């Protein structure tokens, strides 16, 4: 009767990329996770076609969430958390995948080195301010997880301070979940060799020199420390309501496709519906024609 008000089906049928990429409980060794595999996809050409088909579906799901969150008491909102080593493609993923959404309903925050004001607050303060309102989509480009990775690798706070943060993060994410936040936490997993290739490409292209920071080379020296810090994150902060997904990100076409699928599956599972306000259609039409 009114197909637009029914459940949204994904092109190519239902998929379970979430199931394929979700971190299982227990010990995590990132060395066991390939960076150049492509679980769930049927190769590059099929992935590009599928992503193209997903774009209007993503926008449609977003519009329903927006309508529901802005016109009904439904407080749910999707929050995408992107973490990964330098050059892992966080910015590229936002440009190519998040770009499918209507920008009016998306709140993107890129977390840099904390400002003096941010440092005067609890580390979760600035992240809480970046959460979207009901029906909007939030994107965190880096996040509170910097406070247990870069902070740990460089001893920016005493160990007893960062060690208690895993529990604080779990409690806070749980509280936000109870308030309607649907977490989608994605670790873009690249190899050290792929990072080297991408840094060299930046040097070869004058239009990308502005992205180059000498500090990135220093950070490469801490590669193994970062991998260990992320392993702890993936182990300790993957409760059922906000699990981590490890996305093999050496191949950009796969990264974009898998992220689009993760978003689509998550939004479709929220099953957003257009509100159906009680309008007296004939009276309204009559008034408009007067």
CB of 129 to a second copy, least distance (A): 13
CB of 169 to a second copy, least distance (A): 24
Interface with a second copy, residue 5, by CB under 8 A: yes
116 sits near a second copy (criterion: CB under 8 A)? no
Residue 71 CB, shortest distance to a second copy, in Å, is 5
Distance CA 280, CA 77 (A): 30
Residue 113 binds to a second copy (criterion: CB under 8 A): no
Per CB under 8 A, does 129 bind a second copy? no
One residue of 108, 131, 150, 157 binding a second copy per CB under 8 A: 108
Nearer to a second copy, 160 or 204 (CB): 204
- Cβ closest to a second copy, residue 37 vs residue 110: 110
Stretch of 41-49, 115-123, 211-219, 240-248 lying at the interface with a second copy (CB under 8 A): 211-219
Nearer to a second copy, 130 or 234 (CB): 130
Residue 11 Cβ, how far from a second copy at the closest point, in Å?
19
253 binds a second copy (CB under 8 A): no
Q: Which of 15, 83, 141, 238 binds a second copy (CB under 8 A)?
A: 141
DSSP result, the chain = --GGGSPPPPTTS---HHHHHBPPSS---GGGS-SS--TT---HHHHHHHHHHHHHHHHHHHHHHHHHHHHSS---EEEEEEEESTTSSHHHHHHHTGGGS-GGGEEEEE--SPPHHHHTS-TTHHHHTTPPPTT-EEEEES-GGGGGTHHHHTT-S-HHHHHTHHHHHHHHHHHHHHTTEEEEEEEEE--HHHHHHHHHHHHH-GGGGGG--HHHHHHHTTHHHHHHHHHHHHHHS--TTS-EEEEE-SSHHHHHHHHHHHHHHHHHHH----------HHHHHHHHH-
Taking CB under 8 A as the rule, does residue 287 contact a second copy? yes
Q: Which residues bind a second copy (CB under 8 A)?
A: 2, 4-5, 67, 70-71, 91, 94-95, 98-99, 101-104, 106, 108, 110, 139, 141, 196, 199-200, 203, 205-207, 209-212, 214, 217, 274-277, 279, 281, 284-285, 287-289
């Amino acid at each position: 009767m009114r197909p637009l008000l029914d459940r949204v089906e994904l092109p190519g049928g239902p998929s379970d990329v979430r199931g394929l990429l979700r971190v299982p409980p227990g010990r995590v060794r990132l060395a066991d996770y390939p960076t150049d595999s492509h679980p769930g996809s049927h190769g590059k050409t099929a992935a590009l076609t599928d992503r193209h088909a997903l774009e209007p579906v993503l926008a449609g799901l977003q519009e329903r969430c927006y309508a529901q969150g802005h016109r009904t008491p439904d407080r749910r909102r999707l929050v995408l958390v992107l973490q990964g080593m330098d050059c892992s493609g966080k910015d590229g993923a936002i440009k190519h995948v998040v770009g499918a959404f209507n920008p009016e309903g998306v709140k993107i925050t890129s977390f840099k080195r904390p400002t003096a004001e941010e440092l005067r607050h609890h580390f979760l303060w600035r992240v809480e301010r970046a959460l979207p309102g009901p029906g909007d989509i939030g994107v965190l480009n880096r996040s509170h997880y910097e406070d247990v990775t870069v902070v740990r690798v460089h001893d920016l706070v005493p160990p007893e301070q960062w060690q208690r943060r895993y529990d604080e993060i779990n409690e806070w994410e749980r509280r936000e979940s109870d308030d309607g936040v649907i977490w989608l936490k994605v670790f873009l997993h690249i190899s050290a060799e792929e990072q080297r290739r991408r840094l060299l490409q930046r040097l070869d292209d004058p239009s990308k020199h502005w992205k180059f920071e000498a500090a990135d080379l220093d950070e490469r020296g801490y590669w193994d420390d970062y991998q260990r810090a992320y392993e702890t994150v993936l182990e300790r902060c993957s409760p059922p309501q906000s699990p981590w997904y490890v996305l093999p990100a050496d191949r950009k076409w796969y990264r974009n496709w898998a992220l689009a699928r993760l978003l689509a599956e998550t939004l479709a599972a929220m099953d957003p519906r257009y509100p159906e306000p009680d309008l007296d259609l004939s009276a309204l039409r009559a008034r408009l024609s007067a």
